[in-house]
Amino acid sequence: MNLINGKEVAAKVKNDVRGDAEYLSDCFGVKPGLAVILVGDDPASAVYVKNKTKDCAEVGFESFEHILPASTTQEELMALVKQLNADKKVHGILCQLPLPKHLNEREIINAIDPKKDVDAFHPENVGRIMIGDYDFLPCTPAGVMELIHSAGISVSGKKCTVIGRSNIVGKPMAMLLLHENGTVTVCHSKTRNLAEECKDADILVAAVGRAKLITADMVKEGAVVIDVGMNRDENGKLCGDVDFESVKDKAGFITPVPGGVGPMTRAMLMKNTLTAYKKAFGIR
């Protein structure tokens, strides 16, 4: 078993971003800027926003936090997005999801300028990912690909199984594996014989949000196992969608939880923000 250490890979990505950001900030006299919108007081979302602010400081970005009350109206939120779209100091815009139930998430995502959509959720960016002509990738699937590459693993010709079909992880994850010539199967709650589908995979990506769903009997000997899940077990301890203890000795490569995909998601957000900044100044 080879452990793929997300903390180490994320540190390298952020180090590269910091080097570019320092050089370009000196050239253009302005730092890359990320605006984060948080509506309401969801504790998990508040932690994410705090971490993103910390990451910005670490790589030399400007961070613009907009913490709004849960009572914020659709009109108020749309007005803020419009303001940030026009702000030349802001190169990336991220609206922390989920939003309070009275707000229309889709309308907000669609309102963000695709050139500043560092989450890559805007339909224009989603479409560009589909055809393989993209500027940004959703941060978690992009982080997974970075981890796979860091371990020297080739996707081409491999059987790849993605468990989960969300717009944020599952669907774009399948597309990125397909772009690298993987033969991709997407499993979900209606999949029959999930264990058989998993057992066939050379590369298995679990992104379903169910603690320890994937056990050793569902994993092929020597498979690459990427755990995107972030759950709590029966003792309240952080765990993934993969039963790490039972699977680790069977897998060829495996990511831990915590310390696997999580740090990569944050690092790729910084990379996307740098890309948006470069594009704003006409740099490819």
Q: One of 96, 115, 116, 241 is an active-site residue; which one?
A: 96
26 is catalytic: no
Work out the number of other CB atoms within 10 angstroms of the CB of residue 117: 24
How far apart are alpha carbons 281 and 284 in whole angstroms?
A: 9
Query: 119: Cβ–Cβ under 8 A, 6 or more apart, which residues?
Result: 94, 95, 136, 138, 139, 269, 272
Q: One of 14, 20, 31, 52 is an active-site residue; which one?
A: 52
The DSSP output letter for 176 is H
Strand order in the sheet with 62-68: 62-68, 33-39, 92-95
* Phi-psi map region of 56: left, alpha, beta (phi>0 left; psi -120 to 50 alpha): alpha
How far apart are alpha carbons 223 and 217 in whole angstroms?
A: 12
How far apart are alpha carbons 79 and 174 in whole angstroms?
A: 35
96 is catalytic: yes
Q: One of 55, 117, 119, 202 is an active-site residue; which one?
A: 119
Please check whether residue 169 is in contact with residue 187, taking contact to mean a CB–CB distance below 8 angstroms. no
How far apart are alpha carbons 37 and 76 in whole angstroms?
A: 12
119 is catalytic: yes
Helix axis angle, 261-280 to 139-150, nearest 10°: 110
Beta bridge pairs of residue 78: none
Cα-Cα end-to-end distance for the chain: 38
The residues annotated as belonging to the active site are 52, 96, 119
